[in-house]
Structures are given as C-alpha cells and as structure tokens.
Structure 1
Amino acid sequence: MFGRKQTTSLTYLSATSEFQGTLNVEGNLRVDGIIHGTVEVRGDMEISQSGLVEGPELRARNLVVHGVVKARVIAEGRLTLSRSARLEGDVTANSLDIEAGAFYVGYISTNDSKTLPGTGRLPELMGGDKE
C-alpha cells in the first residue's frame, strides 16, 4: 500500500545536440540528434526521423527506429523499424517488426531460436528414382 512507486526516467537528446562516446542510460532514451559511439539503454529507446546513431553497438530493451542507425543492434524485446527507418548492421532481437518502406542491410538472429517442425525425412521428388 505504501510501497515505493517506481518511475522510469526519460533522457532526451534534442535535434540540435550531438554526442560522442559511450552513453549509458538507466531509463528510457529518445534521440532526435546525433550519437557517435556505443549506446546502452536499460529501458526503451526511440530514434526519431531526425535521429542518427552510429557506432559499434546499440543495446536496449525495446527499440523503435524512425531515423538512421549504423551499428550492431541488440534488443532484448522488440525492434520496430518504421517506414522511414534506415538500419545498417547485424540485429539480435526477440521480435522484429519492419514496416513497408524501411531500409535494412544486415544479418538477423533471434534470442529464442526455435526450430521448424520437421517430418524426420525428406520428401521424395516426383520421378526421382528411375530404374
């Protein structure tokens, strides 16, 4: 009843701002400006259409991209690429949403890889064994 209410903080990088280096954020992050470097967000992250993140790695719980990302991306939850997004880099995520019009170049893997159901044997091709 009298427990401490947990609030999530928001860090904001405005469109006129540029950051270079390693950025660690405890809460959520919204980027309208430019980041050059490694980004680690323990909460959710959104990159607006004017936002650019370029560096070796970007890590967040959930990530929504409307702008440009040139980095290896690790999303513990969902990665969403809107139609205006441009992403160049390998991705590891639990789930991925890509809207029509988004640009993506890279390799995608999921954290929870599940194998497709199989029959245990390959189907025979029509006319395969002629004797």
Structure 2
Amino acid sequence: MQFHFAHNNFNVMDLEKSLAFYKEALGLVEVRRKEAPDGSFILAFLGDGSSKHQLELTWLKNWEKDSYNLGDNEFHLAFETDDLEGAREKHRAMDCIIYENKQMGIYFIVDPDGYWIEIVPEKK
C-alpha cells in the first residue's frame, strides 16, 4: 500500500482575491473547480504545472466570521524557487513578505487570509 500527497486546503474569505494572489505571487493556476449545487461552497484547486500536488482553496458562503482562526500559524506550505533573489524582489514589491531568515536563506510570505507560505531555494 502506498500513499501520495494529493492536496492541501486553505479556507478563504474572498476566492477571487486569493486566486489573484496565488497566481501573481507563485504562478499557481486553477486546474479544476467544484461548486455545491446549492451554492454553499466552492472548491478551487490550484496547480503549479509541474507537480501533481495541488492547493485547494475553499470558499464557504455562510461563514459568518471575519476571518479564520489560524492559531499560531505554525503550519504552512513551502515552495522551492530556482531564483530566490528574484522571488524575494517580486514579493517585496507585492508587500507580502512577513518574515525573513537570511541566515537560513528562507523567507515567508502571507496570503490575503493570513496563511504563511515559506519560500526556499531549490535544492541542487
């Protein structure tokens, strides 16, 4: 028996805003969508074009709070890049860098809902 990563999920308040952020910040594009027949939710699956792993963004129509409780934000996604300095410049221009650890050679960006995404150099 084998298991393979399929996707991670983030719940979002504004699906269109999140789709735009992930496209601009990380080049992710929507690869499929599932909408509830009653309109109560939308699931948008994003891919990077090179791996099977996807990010599922879930929008819930009747979510009555202003945000999601992300706890201490100790969980996160990580993305490798072949151009760390170019990525850092792009994210600095987007004003979405939330934390940098130059000693480790990594940094984190934050999405519109407060989720942290780690950016790491490609392993060679």
Q: Which TM-score bucket, shorter chain as reference? A: under 0.3
TM-score, with length taken from structure 1: 0.24
- Which has the larger helix fraction? 2
Larger Rg: 1
- Which has the larger strand fraction? 1
Pick 1 or 2: higher relative contact order, CA cutoff 8 A, min separation 6: 2
